[in-house]
Amino acid sequence: MAEELKVVARIHTDFPSKFGIPRQSGLVPELYGRIILEPEYRQPEVFLGIEEFTHLWLLWGFSANPQGQWTPTVFPPRLGGRTKKGVFATRSPFRPNSIGLSCVKLERVESDTKKGKVLIVSGVDLMDGTPIYDIKPYLPYADAHPEAGGGFGQAHSGDGIRVQFPKELLAKVPEEKRGAVVRVLEQDPRAAYNKKPDYVYGMEFAGRDIRFTVQDDVLRVCDVVDITTKEWEKIK
């Protein structure tokens, strides 16, 4: 009989949708998240000793993906979407079990009168509201392997793009989020197989719609729109 995974917590981040989320954890250290336990697990003892660790493993669910859709081979975006690899040789979200794995930095533990102990973590690569199935401490002596080979993924680890973000538009982003949004854009949020030179993209981040174009390998922000206004319309 199949066992059902229990959601122990949910993480809250600046990404209400998938577009723009870094492809791996740790790529943008300035991205923060708040991990809030589900009511069933809000006993203060569950985090006893967790502050002794600097990093944590998160096991989570690809909640925005259609369930039950997977194939034995996939087209990794970093390979241009044209080269096949086995699903278990990639980190594709379309898997038999939609489980993700992220390593994040534990910044601090806060106390909330209604929600109990809350973990503040950085280097996140998760959408707002993502279900967390488990939290485990990162152990450098067992988890770190400096000699490990990164395969085809390592070959593209340094991929990025130059960003032009006009000061008057950057000023529309909350001050404490400005460094993070620039770093996110430098990762080039576009899919490698779907790059349109004359298209205006929209990335929802921290209550703003960051609109940009890309030409001659330069990403240029052309507008920043408050998504809380009635006039805002999502770019399709």
DSSP one-letter string for 40-55: GG--GGGGTTGGG-SE
Q: pLDDT tens, 118-138?
A: 999 999 999 999 999 999 999
Spatial separation of the C-alpha atoms in residues 195 and 202, rounded to whole Å: 13
Higher pLDDT pick, 75 / 162: 162
More confident residue, 163 or 233: 163
Q: Is there a contact between 189 and 221 (Cβ–Cβ < 8 Å)?
A: no
Q: Which fold has domain 159-226?
A: YaeB-like fold (3.30.2310)
**Start-end of CATH 3.30.2310.20 domains in the chain:** 159-226
Residues of the chain within CATH 2.40.30.70 domain(s) are 9-63+98-143
Structure tokens at 60: 């989570």
In tens, the pLDDT along 151-175 reads 887 766 677 899 999 999 999 999 9
pLDDT of residue 129: 97
Rounded average pLDDT over 30-53: 96
Evaluate if residue 59 carries a pLDDT over 70: yes
| Cβ 148 vs Cβ 203: under 8 Å | no
Distance in angstroms (rounded) separating the CA atoms of residues 187 and 92: 18
Segment 84-96 shows an average pLDDT of 88
Return the higher-pLDDT residue of 204 and 230. Answer: 204
- Whether 48 and 113 have beta carbons less than 8 Å apart is answered as no
pLDDT band (50, 70, 90) for residue 1: very low
Instruction: State the pLDDT at residue 156.
Output: 65
> Based on the number of CB atoms within 10 Å of its own CB, is 169 exposed (0-12), middle (13-18) or buried (19 or more)?
middle
- Answer yes or no: CATH 3.40.50.300 is held by domain 9-63+98-143: no
pLDDT at 75 over 90: no
**Residues paired with 132 in a beta bridge:** 9, 60
Confidence of residue 107 (pLDDT cuts 50, 70, 90): very high
Most confident of 29-38, 64-73, 79-88, 159-168: 29-38
Cα 40 to Cα 44: distance, rounded to the nearest angstrom: 11
CA distance 155 to 214: 23
CB 127 within 8 A of CB 13: yes
Q: How far are the Cα atoms of 64, 97, 173, 215 from residue 67, in angstroms, in the given order?
A: 9, 9, 35, 36
